[in-house]
Amino acid sequence: MRAFVLLGLFVFASGFRGCYKPVTKSGLPEHVRTVAVPAFQNQALRYKVESRFTEAVMNEIIRRGKGLSVRSDPKGADAVVDGTIKNFAFYGVLLDSRGRARIFEVTITAAVTVRDQVTNRVLYDNQDYVFRGEFEFTDDPRTFFNEEDPAVQRLARSFAESLVSTLINGFGVNDEP
């Protein structure tokens, strides 16, 4: 019995030895030191949505960019993150006892392209980034606080975290032309 357990433990441990590989380099090419994040476009026509997403992406690159310099002007930058907010929608998903929507779901669809300006190549392109979040309205009008704006802020941060993780951790960039 002991031999069987020992053999099973050995097979289990040796089979998973190569699964963990630490991240040793960025997903961006070595020559990328400056990233430009110009203001996102707003096709959704929702007030300030594009500025919140642009700011969130810039802040996340600064926070996790491993020494990357961030600017808003693409001139002179090694890479450019172009973004467009394509759609903004919110829907009532839970009604109260009077039939009024209490919890809303916000869905934001964006398009993002990351270009290497040095080699003139597209490093990353996702035309269908979709993010969802919820916010709730209170029953009591005395404590009413509009949760839509904080919900958009949370979605912008989530979007930025996802995008920068993709940039930092890699997305299959091939350094060869």
pLDDT single digits (tens) 8-31: 655 555 554 444 444 444 567 888
Report CA-CA distances (Å) from 104 to 57, 76, 90, 99, 137.
25, 42, 6, 13, 8
Place of tokens 């958009």: 152
For the chain, which residues score pLDDT lower than 50? 16-25, 172-177
> What percent of the chain has pLDDT above 70?
73
Domains recognised in the chain with CATH numbers: 29-165 (3.30.160.150)
- pLDDT at position 109: 92
- pLDDT at position 129: 85
